Amino acid sequence: MPILPIDSGRYGSKEIKKIFEEEQHLQYQLDFEAAVSAAQAHIKMIPENASDDITKKAKSGKITIEKVKELEAVTEHDTAAIVEALSEQCSEKSRPWIHYGLTSNDILDTTISMQMRDAFSILESKILDIATALTDKALEFRTLPAVGRTHGQHASIIAFGLKFAVWAAEMAKHIERIEEGKKRFLLCKTLGVVGTGSLMGNRALDVQRRVAMDLRLYAVEAATQVIPRERHAEMQFLIALVACTLDKIAIEIRNLQRTEIGEVAEPFRRGQIGSSAVPVKRNPIKSERVSSLAKILRSLVNVAMENIGLWHERDLSNSANERFTLPMAVILLDEMLNSMKSIIIDLNVNTKRITSNLNITKGQIYAEFVLEALIKKGVPRFEAYRNIQRVAFAALEREEDFFDALRKDSNLSKNLTPLELKGIFNAKNHLSASSKIIENVVRKVKATNKKYHNNQLH
């Protein structure tokens, strides 16, 4: 009976959860044993016919999770149970060479790397999908003037599409971070009990290099019994960092969907219910879900950091929590990416509300540009600043349009003609480099997408 929402199917796609299911986890470990035996046979460390037998049986599908659990109930050691189950399938001559020169964490740590190799492939594809969807929105709204807010207040004018471009740039940057980091954390280890190479002697590094290449991983440079946990912490951090960007996007969507602002709204399908009590509500539940799950992923970074300091060549204080941390982080990030993709693609953008919100302050959003015009006319900056502030605050109290207040003020109107003021109070004149920035981001995302897929082909 499912206990956690992940188990019940509430969070995460089938493709991502399959990576961490017991059967697939077992097969990763068996694939590792096969790869090690093949590498050892290649350099004549073990008999070739033994390697052939080990590989064949490891990939036969005859070693079941039920059998491994049966053996583990006796041994109380998960890796020993797998080795014993594999031994039962192999010939008597092959058995001495199974798991030769290895320790449990060679198989466990390398299996984590194999899982994360496949998990990142799925996650990165979805990150790129979101980046592309964001650039589509950026291009669609590249010329739409909107309120830019700082400290929750109207500050100046932006192109509404610039919001999406900023997010798209960060999603593309996440791909760069992950791709660049793979050589540091997708690691293979076959160096035995305390990281010396143990029974394999001087040829241990050759075995490790061959196994890493076979499994599409990177050989660890140096290790104790375990791969240094700084590497796992980096993976956990990168996952949390992607989650934080998704949270940032979700927070902005939630804020812009507030009744008082109303510039965007999450898609709301026919038959959906926003509130059991209030029929008219359309709540941003997917964005709120993203923000909620991000809190968990940030907390898991601390656990990963705590795992870095282990006693001597290792202890078990990291082992139990690691059965949760990376699998949970990957599955929840997958859920967040799926949610955000659906939000962005079908996001409802209320262009009329965006335009009307520009005028909430009765033109005071143009104050920056009035200041610039006065400075260019030779008015000292702080003299112009104080006069604009004086007129603006008085207009606000009188609920007067800022344009009219400027025209009436003798100190300011003598430097700006009505025609010049009219040009200043045109929002489309203040998009500045927005279009150029958006174009640059679109090119960056396309280049990142192309580079990523080329790397996968090779």
| pLDDT single digits (tens) 411-449 | 888 999 999 999 999 999 999 999 999 999 999 999 999
% of the chain with per-residue pLDDT over 70: 98
Least confident window among 213-217, 273-277, 325-329, 389-393: 273-277
* Long-range contacts of the stretch 304-312 (C-beta < 8 A, 24+): 304/229, 304/232, 304/233, 304/235, 304/236, 304/237, 305/233, 307/229, 307/232, 307/233, 308/228, 308/229, 308/230, 308/233, 310/224, 310/226, 310/229, 312/224
Find, among 206, 202, 196, the residue nearest to 43 by Cα: 206
What integer is the mean pLDDT of 111-135?
A: 98
Residue 47 to residue 356: CA distance in whole angstroms: 78
* pLDDT of the residue at 126: 98
Helices (H) and strands (E) in the chain, counts: 20, 6
Residues sharing a CB contact under 8 Å with residue 73, sequence separation 6 or more, in sequence order: none
- Listed in sequence order, the DSSP H helices in 307-380 are 319-322, 325-345, 351-357, 367-376
Superfamily for 364-424? Fumarase/aspartase (C-terminal domain) (1.10.40.30)
* pLDDT of the residue at 273: 63
Its pTM stands at: 0.94
* pLDDT of the residue at 72: 93
* pLDDT of the residue at 413: 87
- Whether the per-residue pLDDT at 24 is higher than 90: the answer is yes
* pLDDT of the residue at 210: 98
Angle at 435 between CA 374 and CA 177, to 5 degrees: 120
What integer is the mean pLDDT of 359-363?
A: 95
Neighbour-count burial for 276-306, b at 16+ CB within 10 Å, e otherwise: eeeeeeebbebbbbbbebbeebbebbebbee
61-115 pLDDT, tens per residue?
Answer: 999 999 999 999 998 899 999 999 999 999 999 999 999 999 999 999 999 999 9
* pLDDT of the residue at 455: 83
Residue 116 to residue 54: CA distance in whole angstroms: 25
Catalytic residue set: 151, 275
- Whether the per-residue pLDDT at 268 is higher than 90: the answer is no
Instruction: Output the average pLDDT for the chain.
Output: 95
* pLDDT of the residue at 271: 66
Confidence of residue 275 (pLDDT cuts 50, 70, 90): low
Question: Are the C-beta atoms of 225 and 151 separated by less than 8 Å?
Answer: no
Residue bearing the bigger pLDDT, 276 or 61: 61
Angle at 146 between CA 140 and CA 149, to 5 degrees: 130
Confidence of residue 8 (pLDDT cuts 50, 70, 90): confident
Cα-based torsion angle of the residue sequence 366, 367, 368, 373 in order, rounded to the nearest 10 degrees: 90
Distances (CA, A) of 413 to 24, 371, 403: 75, 13, 10
288-322 pLDDT, tens per residue?
Answer: 999 999 999 999 999 999 999 999 999 999 999 99
What is the three-class DSSP state of 158? strand
329-357 pLDDT, tens per residue?
Answer: 999 999 999 999 999 999 999 999 999 99
Question: Are the C-beta atoms of 97 and 88 separated by less than 8 Å?
Answer: no
Question: Are the C-beta atoms of 222 and 194 separated by less than 8 Å?
Answer: no
Distances (CA, A) of 426 to 36, 154, 322, 431: 69, 16, 57, 10
* pLDDT of the residue at 406: 93
Backbone angles phi, psi at 110, to 5 degrees: -70, -35
Could you tell me the maximum CA-CA distance found in the chain, to the nearest angstrom?
103
CATH 1.20.200.10 matches 104-357+435-457 = yes
- Whether the per-residue pLDDT at 457 is higher than 80: the answer is no
Per-domain residue ranges of the chain: 13-97, 104-357+435-457, 364-424
Question: Are the C-beta atoms of 428 and 393 separated by less than 8 Å?
Answer: no
What integer is the mean pLDDT of 230-240?
A: 98
CATH value of 13-97 in 3.40.1190.20, 1.10.10.60, 3.90.170.10, 1.10.275.10: 1.10.275.10
